[in-house]
Amino acid sequence: MPEAEPVTEKNERGEHDPDERGHFGPYGGRFMPEALIGALDELSAEYDKARLDPEFTGEFARLLSQYAGRPSLLTEAVRFAEHAGGARVFLKREDLNHTGSHKINNVLGQALLTKRMGKKRVIAETGAGQHGVATATACALLGLDCVVYMGEVDTERQALNVARMRLLGAEVIPVGTGSRTLKDAINEALRDWVTNVDTTHYLLGTAAGAHPFPVLVRNFHKVIGEEARAQILELTGRLPDAVAACVGGGSNAIGIFHGFIDDPGVRLVGLEPGGKGIETGQHGATLTEGTPGMLHGSLSYLLQDDDGQTTEAYSISAGLDYPGVGPEHSWLKDTGRAEYRAVTDAEAMDAFRLLSRTEGIIPAIESAHALAGALELGRELGPEAHILVNLSGRGDKDVDTAARYFGLVDEEKL
């Protein structure tokens, strides 16, 4: 049957796909309670069908262009680049997407999958609130019930996003256990999921967790890299020398990296939160400082002690404050295809202010880590270099944190 052939071909795993059990090299897999295995199998099966179904892919593409505002722009940051050793710097403007970050790509994809599976309720975790806001948005659009788990520390530092989610009709549940940040929000979402798995989809916000989440989330974000590659070729006539992206769980980075993964001349550089400095121990630099271990269902680099207890991450950026990382990044690190560096709070905040003042773009503090990395790369690579930065989100949510950090307002009045 000649018509079946292309489907068979498409079904075959690509060179960069994990094996059927979700392994990227030794990383990934599925270390999860038996109670959730059925739901993960169902999700895998549904996704495998959906990705080949023109109705699904068409609807996803339509939402990306007509709702999320894709393709996002590519902007050359000329004045900012004066501080980057004279290299040219290009910004992939995920901050201009609806809801203000790259997160919308993945949530639209997974919310459509939720509908296909006949589930009516969505749960999600959020750190900075970007993923929570994006999830609440997609649920409002598609008529799904939405519950977002958010660490108490984060509900305090991102109060505006809590209000935003509630305006969108989502229920926000503050999580007061453990470190009271993203890691524990995921724990609490998993506890909800194991209780309500029949009716509920867990809309995980990053390219981590148990199979199939890492590959599914990555594929929904690949559009970032695909667009950026075409745009930069169009604008400059050549590929960039380096692509820089921040890495917490790693979804925006894996999305943009995949546009260039088969271009060996393009360096892929992930910037992790160095917090108060690696030497202080207060950081979230999982790939730089961690060791392989399991957290939230997959094997990957992890911040842990000698007993395998997860240690607390720290970053000024709530969205990067996570002791784990997506398994594909661990594999890209080990194979050497990508490199990972740490950027301190101070370096990120300097880049945050610099972009605001030289380009009139206030970035998310997460994305400011990538900008700081680009400044460093520019100085290393010199004036001939072209550097592409994934500007993964906008900084509206961070104005309060930045105002305090730079002493721009009377603290009493905040």
| Cα–Cα distance for residue pair 290/209, rounded to 1 Å | 17
Alpha-carbon separation of residue 264 from 46, 250, 267, 335 (angstroms) = 33, 20, 7, 13
- Torsion angle of C-alpha atoms 320, 324, 330, 332, degrees rounded to 10: -20
Minimum separation from the CB atom of position 277 to other proteins (A)? 23
Catalytic residue check, 44: no
Is the CB of residue 253 less than 8 Å from the CB of residue 242?
no
CB closer to other proteins, 270 vs 284: 284
Q: What one-character DSSP code corresponds to residue 192? A: H
Minimum separation from the CB atom of position 124 to other proteins (A)? 16
Of 72, 94, 103, 188, the active-site residue reads: 103
- Torsion angle of C-alpha atoms 347, 352, 356, 362, degrees rounded to 10: 170
Strand-pairing partners, residue 363, are 394
Element (H, E) at 70: none
Minimum separation from the CB atom of position 173 to other proteins (A)? 14
CB closer to other proteins, 140 vs 294: 294
Minimum separation from the CB atom of position 25 to other proteins (A)? 15
CB closer to other proteins, 107 vs 295: 295
Minimum separation from the CB atom of position 203 to other proteins (A)? 17
CB closer to other proteins, 73 vs 294: 294
Angle at 319 between CA 362 and CA 377, to 5 degrees: 60
CB closer to other proteins, 310 vs 344: 310
Of 46, 94, 125, 359, the active-site residue reads: 125
Residues that bind other proteins (CB under 8 A): 21, 29-39, 177-178, 183, 187, 190-191, 194-198, 291, 293-297, 299, 302, 304, 306-311
Query: Helix or strand or coil: residue 295?
Result: strand
Is the CB of residue 79 less than 8 Å from the CB of residue 66?
no
Catalytic residue check, 125: yes
| Cα–Cα distance for residue pair 258/226, rounded to 1 Å | 8
Minimum separation from the CB atom of position 31 to other proteins (A)? 5
Catalytic residue check, 380: no
Is the CB of residue 206 less than 8 Å from the CB of residue 326?
yes
CB closer to other proteins, 179 vs 252: 179
Strand-pairing partners, residue 243, are 268, 388
Residues noted as catalytic: 103, 125, 392
